[in-house]
């Protein structure tokens, strides 16, 4: 029997303070590790260059969180892995849960971490605007897509790699997970959520530019969600009564 192959991928951008200890911890639980350096300028690249225990994909310029994850998808497909785990490199995800994700993905198509399924000892209190936006967008995803999610934006996920070729992701930024949810629902993927601790180490971490304003960020997420449904799932857009590209109102 051929043994399945798994890959743990970490998108990073200017994570010099975290990248070394996070990778050391991930290496305890991962068969193989991929780091996508999304144009770091803080010396993270030099740290990565010194390691021989990771695969490395470099973006010459910063392209965004979604673009980094898309590079991870492409790498996993090109190198014929069976399962892909994605984990953030800012210290907010605990690598000790990687085996649980790899176990769960064997009976699912995507496994997504949830910081709100249950409380863990020592859980952080999330920044109020982030929790509010997550609650609103999660509720809208569930209503629009017929899902039952509790955490729309957790970056700790596992994927069945063969199915990633069916995705057509366009969003480069932080709204990219919304495109994944739309297409996963459209494709009928089996979705599982796993509880993980709620950890915020840098509550004031910047999203960049105008997105640091909570209402601007919320409106951007809603726009991407609606555009994704109209583009990828027009039948559902009609059911929701939304206007399709070209000015045709759905009925």
List 58's β-bridge partners, or say none. 37
Model pLDDT, residue 247? 53
**Structure confidence at residue 204 as a pLDDT band (50, 70, 90):** low
- In angstroms, the CA 66 to CA 170 distance is 8
HSE-up of 177 (CA within 13 Å, CB side)? Answer: 21
Report the chain's mean pLDDT, rounded to a whole number.
Answer: 92
With a pLDDT cut of 70, the percent of the chain lying above it is 93
At a CB cut-off of 8 Å and minimum separation 6, what does 133 contact? 214, 217, 218, 221
- In angstroms, the CA 235 to CA 230 distance is 8
* 165-170 contacts, C-beta under 8 A, 24 or more apart: 165/77, 167/73, 168/232, 169/66, 169/69, 169/70, 169/73
Q: First-to-last CA distance in the chain?
A: 52
- In angstroms, the CA 44 to CA 145 distance is 38
The class of domain 6-134+146-205 in CATH terms is alpha beta
- In angstroms, the CA 42 to CA 240 distance is 45
HSE-up of 212 (CA within 13 Å, CB side)? Answer: 6
**Structure confidence at residue 209 as a pLDDT band (50, 70, 90):** low
**Structure confidence at residue 143 as a pLDDT band (50, 70, 90):** very high
- In angstroms, the CA 199 to CA 124 distance is 5
Domain spans in the chain, listed from the N-terminal domain onward: 6-134+146-205
> What length does the chain have?
251
List 111's β-bridge partners, or say none. 158, 192
Q: What is the pLDDT of residues 82-102, one digit of tens each?
A: 999 999 988 789 999 999 999
- In angstroms, the CA 226 to CA 220 distance is 10
Q: Is the pLDDT of residue 250 over 50?
A: no
Which carries the bigger pLDDT value, residue 113 or residue 249?
Answer: 113
8-state DSSP, 241: T
Model pLDDT, residue 63? 96
Classified as helix, coil or strand, 199 is: coil
Q: At what angle do helices 65-78 and 176-187 cross, to 10 degrees?
A: 50
Q: At what angle do helices 128-145 and 214-232 cross, to 10 degrees?
A: 20
Average pLDDT of the residues in 109-136: 93
Average pLDDT of the residues in 68-90: 97
**Structure confidence at residue 177 as a pLDDT band (50, 70, 90):** very high
Model pLDDT, residue 124? 86
**Structure confidence at residue 171 as a pLDDT band (50, 70, 90):** very high
**Structure confidence at residue 251 as a pLDDT band (50, 70, 90):** very low
């Amino acid at each position: 029997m051929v043994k399945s192959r798994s890959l743990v991928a970490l998108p990073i951008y200017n994570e010099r303070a975290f990248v070394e200890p996070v990778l050391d911890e991930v290496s305890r639980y991962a068969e193989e590790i991929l780091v996508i350096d999304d144009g770091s300028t803080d010396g993270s690249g030099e740290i990565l260059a010194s390691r021989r225990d990771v695969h490395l994909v470099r973006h010459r310029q910063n392209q965004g969180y979604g673009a980094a994850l898309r590079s991870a998808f492409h790498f996993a497909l090109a190198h014929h892995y069976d399962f892909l785990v994605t984990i953030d490199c800012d210290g907010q995800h605990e690598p000790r849960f990687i085996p649980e994700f790899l176990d769960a993905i064997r009976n699912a198509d995507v496994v997504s971490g949830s910081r709100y399924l249950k409380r863990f000892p020592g859980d952080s209190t999330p920044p109020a605007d982030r929790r509010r936006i997550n609650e609103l967008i999660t509720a809208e995803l569930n209503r629009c897509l017929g899902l039952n999610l509790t955490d729309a934006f957790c970056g700790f996920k596992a994927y069945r790699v063969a199915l990633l070729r069916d995705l057509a992701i366009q969003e480069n930024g932080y709204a990219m997970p919304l495109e994944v949810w739309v297409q996963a629902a459209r494709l009928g993927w089996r979705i599982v959520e796993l509880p993980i601790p709620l950890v915020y180490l840098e509550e004031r971490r910047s999203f960049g530019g105008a997105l640091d304003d909570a209402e601007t960020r919320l409106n951007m997420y809603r726009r991407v969600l609606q555009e994704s449904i109209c583009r990828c799932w027009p039948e559902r857009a009609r059911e929701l009564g939304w206007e399709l590209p070209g000015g045709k109102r759905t009925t």
